[in-house]
Amino acid sequence: MEEKWLVGVDLGGTTIKMAFISMDGDILYSWEIDTDKRESGKYIPASIARGIDRKLQELDQTKSRLIGVGIGAPGPVNEKDGSIEVAINLGWKNFPLKEILQRETSLPVVVDNDANIAAIGEMWKGAGQGAKNMICVTLGTGVGGGLIANGEIVHGVNGAGGEIGHIVSVPKGGAPCNCGKKGCLETVASATGIVRLTVEELSTKEDQSSLREIYENSQTITAKQVLDAVSEGDALAKKVVEEVTYHLGLALANLANGLNPEKIVIGGGVSKAGDTLLEPLKEQFASFAFPRVAQGVELVTATLGNHAGVIGGAWLVKEKL
């Protein structure tokens, strides 16, 4: 009896990550394709189906090996029919993803939000190590989140559970967020937020900073350059990271007081800074969390990197199908 495979798909604005995964959650084969955003993203399901077929052909396997597809997509997901209400960066509005993808692949499909499947992946095979109550926060271009309570992802009443990035962090005079509000956590703790805060510091203060030269030469700066400058002892970069971890620590402490989690997993591109970010974050978190909550939780960096989503997608297939 040949072993069956799970298919995990993590749909991003620029690339789609795909993998065949064993029942134990081990990645057997992984690859990625470009996200085809033409005509409001209507070709995306077909290109995913083609990607699966091509890979099977390459491996000389038939579709009967595959149990189903678990896919994470940006934006709120309608749990009843697996449609995406709105995904701004793909051009989708009320897009029936599950229905179309099932038709294109002739496989059963489970759909969830991309940050949720990353959280599930970390719970199953990553830094969560089976923690049944955990908060997962992804710090990338935006701030994504997934809440797991009693081993289940929290979807809430209409699919918007775990929107950590839209907790208001700067209630007065905050920067506008693409969700339509102002001062969301995403405007300070994302890569974009880090850049914005740094540029503000550079333009209003005359502090000596290695970042000033980079910025003046190229008129841009990246979050990575800011985080690297912290480890080189740059005072301005340190100040920015203090600001970021203050807001992030406060938001996570308030959430943790509600959930009393065992683990808080920090993932996404920004988390690659490791202790530069984690150490000040732990201090801020501890100062805001209810003491007993703080005792029960461990703040850790995500371990699965870009594979978290596809592994979480595979878990969905295993559990739901």
Residue 107 and residue 146 in one domain: no
Distance between CA atoms of residues 75 and 80, nearest Å? 15
Residue 114 and residue 149 in one domain: no
Residue 63 and residue 187 in one domain: no
Residue 113 and residue 173 in one domain: no
Name the pLDDT band for 34 (thresholds 50, 70, 90).
very high
- Beta pairing, strands 263-267 & 298-301: parallel
pTM over 0.85: yes
Query: Does the structure show a pLDDT above 90 at 206?
Result: no
Residue 101 and residue 147 in one domain: no
Kindly state the average pLDDT of the residues 248-263.
97
Show the domain range for 191. 129-303
Residue 91 and residue 191 in one domain: no
Residue 80 and residue 141 in one domain: no
The domain tally of the chain equals 2
Residue 206 and residue 299 in one domain: yes
Residue 272 and residue 312 in one domain: no
Answer for the pair 253, 220: CB distance below 8 angstroms, yes or no. Answer: no
Name the pLDDT band for 158 (thresholds 50, 70, 90).
confident
Query: Does the structure show a pLDDT above 80 at 77?
Result: yes
Q: Enter the DSSP assignment of 180.
A: S
Name the pLDDT band for 129 (thresholds 50, 70, 90).
confident
Residue 72 and residue 158 in one domain: no
Contacts (Cβ under 8 Å, ≥6 apart) of 230: 237, 238, 241, 273, 276
Residue 174 and residue 63 in one domain: no
Q: Which helix (H) or strand (E) holds 245?
A: helix 235-259
Return the minimum-mean-pLDDT range out of 22-36, 144-158, 207-221.
Answer: 207-221
Residue 136 and residue 9 in one domain: no
Q: Name the nearest CA neighbour of 250 among 300, 284, 209, 200.
A: 284
The CATH number given to whatever domain includes residue 12 is: 3.30.420.40
